Amino acid sequence: MNDDTPDSMQELADVLQDVRRHLLWQEETAGRSLLVDAKVAAELQQQRAAASSVRTMIARTKAPEPAAAPTPPRPPVESPSRDTLHAAMKQPLGAPRPLATTPPPAAAPRAPMAAATPPPSAPRAAPAPAMLLDVPPSAPRHNGALPGVVEGERPTLDQVRRELGDCRRCKLCSGRKNIVFGSGNPRADLVFVGEGPGENEDLQGVPFVGAAGDLLTKMIGAMGFTRNDVYIANVVKCRPPGNRNPEPDEIAACEPFLRSQLLAIQPKVIVALGKFAAQTLLRDTTPITRMRGQWREYEGIQLMPTFHPAYLLRNSAEKRNAWADLQQVMKLFGKHPGSSA
Ligand code: URA
């Protein structure tokens, strides 16, 4: 087969486009690909090699031949077929590697929270590994899991919000009235993460403003903070219809933005409210009833899983346990709890 025909060049260009689109898609949606293990890394390397070899071929077929010098015969090029590339690209990336599951010692508190304290200049969260795409060195590079984040840099919340835009990445966009991005102090030392907006939040574009929000506001107050001291966000930013649970594809589409928000804020402590927040951030399917009250670690940040306020509204006997969890958080900030919420 003659690889220099216009048809084959076009086909190669098409394949390259497919590869780039696929890698961009991975970058946009597959936050988990950041936690690549060796096998996944090898698969990604293969995909990059395939893309690179296609690009090389296209460059060769497009390069002008020198006019005078006789051209040595070109060695035959190993041309991956479209089918081979597609098959390679469709290989599963494998399950995400779970983060450390042993609770960090709660006896190592960071400095007490001070809302006005500027964040450390060096990001606490480790920068993500180099991304998958070959892009010109001058172009900013995304780090793959974190939309709006240039590799090695700490984003601002505004950048993350801009990247989210008028999001259409999952089906929740069709029913929402407002995206509920998050609210509070962008430099908070304490972040609360809920599940997803309900009806009131959807109407106002602000998290936790309904009945569960009232309880959360009380919990925050009982801890000695105000809503303006802390930051409040959700796993999904758009209301699931009828307040149903968010579905895995919706969480997968939105989770990278939550991770970017946390990278931007770099709090000292995260309180994960309910199973969706705790299981998503920790990549751990342990039930919330067993996870709650145990210090965990998210990207070097202390994380306390506890019950969701909406659950507490339905199960008030559990408020005592939730309060015990929050008291542990208070201790970390050097605050001295009373005996009840
Ligand atoms: N429940 C949540 O998880 N988040 C909100 O913003 C409101 C209710």
pLDDT of residue 256: 97
Q: Taking the alpha carbons of 298, 301, 306, 308 in that order, is the dihedral positive or negative?
A: negative
Distance 262 CA to ligand 1 centre (A): 17
* d(C-alpha 51, C-alpha 207), whole Å: 42
Ligand 1 environment, Cβ below 6 A: 180, 194-198, 201, 207-208, 210, 212-213, 234, 310
Distance 261 CA to ligand 1 centre (A): 17
| pLDDT, averaged across the chain | 71
* d(C-alpha 96, C-alpha 36), whole Å: 7
Two tokens, residue 98: 């779970």
To test ligand 1's pocket by mutation, which of 204, 208, 209 has the most ligand atoms within 8 angstroms of CB? 208
Closest ligand 1 atom, residue 200 Cα: 7
To test ligand 1's pocket by mutation, which of 193, 195, 254, 311 has the most ligand atoms within 8 angstroms of CB? 195
Distance 174 CA to ligand 1 centre (A): 19
Q: What is the 8-class DSSP label of residue 142?
A: B
Amino acid at 1: M
pLDDT digits (tens, 9 = 90+) for 10-33: 555 555 555 455 444 444 433 333
**Beta bridge partner(s), residue 269:** 190, 302
Half-sphere exposure of 33 (CA within 13 A, CB side): 25
pLDDT of residue 152: 80
Weakest-pLDDT range from 37-46, 62-71, 309-318: 62-71
Kindly indicate the confidence band of residue 304, based on its pLDDT and cuts at 50, 70 and 90.
very high
Distance 229 CA to ligand 1 centre (A): 18
Closest ligand 1 atom, residue 234 Cα: 4
Kindly indicate the confidence band of residue 146, based on its pLDDT and cuts at 50, 70 and 90.
confident
Residues of 128-153 as b/e, b for ≥16 C-beta within 10 angstroms? beebbbeeeeeeebbbbbbbbbeeee
**Beta bridge partner(s), residue 190:** 269
Mean pLDDT of 127-149: 44
Q: What is the 8-class DSSP label of residue 5?
A: S
pLDDT of residue 63: 36
Report in angstroms the alpha-carbon separations of 283 from 29, 101, 193, 259, 292.
16, 9, 15, 12, 15
Kindly indicate the confidence band of residue 199, based on its pLDDT and cuts at 50, 70 and 90.
very high
Kindly indicate the confidence band of residue 148, based on its pLDDT and cuts at 50, 70 and 90.
confident
Q: Could you tell me which of 110, 118, 120 has the C-alpha nearest to residue 333?
A: 110
Distance 245 CA to ligand 1 centre (A): 11
pLDDT of residue 150: 81
